[in-house]
Amino acid sequence: MSQSTGKQHSLSEKISQLGPTWLAGAIAAGPASMASLLSGGANFGYALLWVVVISAIFGALAQYLATKLALETNEGLIKTVERRLGTKWAWLLVADVVLVAGFAQLVIMKTVASVSGLLMPFGAESWGVIWAVFLTVGLAGGGYRIAEIGAKVVVTGVVLAFIASLFVVPIDSGAAVSGLFPTVPIGGAIAAAGIVGGAVHVTIITMQTYTVKARGWTQSDADIARFDISVSMLVAFGVFSIATFLVAAGALFGNIDTQGLQAIGAAQALEPIAGSFAQRVFLIGLLGAAVSTLGGNTLVPVYVIADKLTWETNVEDTRYRVLLAGTALVSGAGVFIPGAFLGQLVLVLAVGTVGTPFALALVLVLLNDSQTTGDPPSVAINIGGIAVFSVASILAGNFVISQITSGLTLLSGSVLLFAAVILFATILLIGSHLRAQLGDASTTAISE
């Protein structure tokens, strides 16, 4: 994004144009992120505070890289990958997104159904069917947007409750400062991967390119895009993450049995501000976060598949509508997944972290490809992108190792296979890019 050629917009214009990254931030601040932050603070105190801080910074940088690519190409990531790297790479990215988003869809639906069962009559299984039908009808007819807006209002209220609790819950400043020094405590690999996965995730990186394209932004809107990213991910998501984590570390660590932390226990984090209403307030907020994320997450796999197959990405295309309805209905099966949903939400983001380095590598390679963009990132931005890629890769590796050491199961075996494919593809992609770059450099040197 060339800062010298872009038009400079007024502050009011920038505020009125907030959108793509605000949507990404809303998805990032979903139930899985909330669960990861609460679990991390409750189980490990302030030890993972450094992870929380860098997650907001890295999340903003990842969205900036995706936005820059979209501004340069005026197309979604799938199209850019196919045009420059080929169909096989595009399909691999589609598979990455679909697997990660599909797993998330099942667990988010389980969360919505389970919390609905705790708050209202009927069991979780019945609510799973009700929500699946509602989601299908709502997305096909556009009415789901109303539920999403209402849910976001509820989530905003709960986030404000966590921020307010920050002024009531006693925070150990010394321990908090020590938590800014990078270290992953024993057993903290999943929590760390989950926290980073909330902000740096293959689905929101991929979808950012489409939302920027849909907004119609060009390189002349670069300053609006930077403002959108700063306000949405760096500030709003950052405040949400740090406040939620500190409240959990201050109110829950050492005070509850964190073995298999469940929603009822996590709700104690709001007792200093909500008193006897803490459990209901927390559950309503968790439901709102899940509902607000459910619709957007349903669209992600459908959108990338439709784009790859050159379908129209709206319900006017019958093929798109059928795929969308089928995805929504199948997600109802998530309610039958055994186990506590709060821990599974953390696992969702940890699994997403495994698929994210590949998407980051694709974006970085394409941004530095002279035939894709005419304005490559600065050295500083490239270094930052490599840092995001490296940390995401290390945390993903730690998570995979933790799954192996805990004993191979169907889930851990599937994660291991997924990780092996993604690792091989990422190494091949980076190797091919470096070989091409060195070849170009040699050709230039010879010609000179």
Domain boundaries of the chain, sorted by first residue: 13-447
Q: Which residue in this structure is represented by tokens 């908090």?
A: 176
Tokens of 232: 């949405």
Q: Which of 147-161, 241-255, 428-442 has the highest mean pLDDT?
A: 241-255
pLDDT in tens, 58-102: 999 999 999 999 999 988 899 999 999 999 999 999 999 999 999
Q: Which pLDDT score, from 0 to 100, does residue 95 have?
A: 94
Q: Is the pLDDT of residue 303 over 80?
A: yes
pLDDT band at 1 (very low <50, low <70, confident <90, very high): very low
In this structure, the chain runs to a length of: 448
Cβ atoms of 343 and 36 within 8 Å: the answer is no
| DSSP track, 178-236 | HTTS----TT-HHHHHHHHHHHS-HHHHHHHHHHHHHHT--GGGHHHHHHHHIIIIIII
13-447 placed in CATH 1.20.1740.10 = yes
Amino acid making up residue 235: V
| 23 vs 219, higher pLDDT | 219
> Looking at residues 303-322, what average pLDDT do you find?
87
> Looking at residues 440-446, what average pLDDT do you find?
47
Mean pLDDT of the chain: 82
* Lowest mean pLDDT segment, chosen from 45-54, 82-91, 293-302, 420-429: 293-302
Tokens of 166: 């920050």
Q: Which pLDDT score, from 0 to 100, does residue 240 have?
A: 86
Please count the other Cβ atoms lying within 10 Å of the Cβ belonging to residue 4: 5
Q: What is the dihedral of CA 343, 390, 22, 140, to 10 degrees?
A: -60
> Looking at residues 281-296, what average pLDDT do you find?
77
Whose CA is closest to 162, among 273, 67, 78?
Answer: 273
| 166 vs 125, higher pLDDT | 125
Q: Is the pLDDT of residue 154 over 70?
A: no
> Looking at residues 431-445, what average pLDDT do you find?
68
Cα(199)–Cα(66) distance, integer angstroms? 13
pLDDT band at 379 (very low <50, low <70, confident <90, very high): very high
Whose CA is closest to 35, among 295, 269, 338, 238?
Answer: 269
> Looking at residues 336-365, what average pLDDT do you find?
87
Which H helix or E strand runs over 242?
A: helix 238-251
The single-letter DSSP state of residue 17 is T
Q: Which pLDDT score, from 0 to 100, does residue 446 have?
A: 39
Q: Which pLDDT score, from 0 to 100, does residue 443 have?
A: 45
pLDDT in tens, 387-414: 999 988 988 888 888 878 877 777 778 8
Whose CA is closest to 195, among 62, 35, 309?
Answer: 35
Q: Which pLDDT score, from 0 to 100, does residue 190 have?
A: 81
| 14 vs 99, higher pLDDT | 99
Amino acid making up residue 397: G
pLDDT in tens, 119-133: 888 888 999 999 999
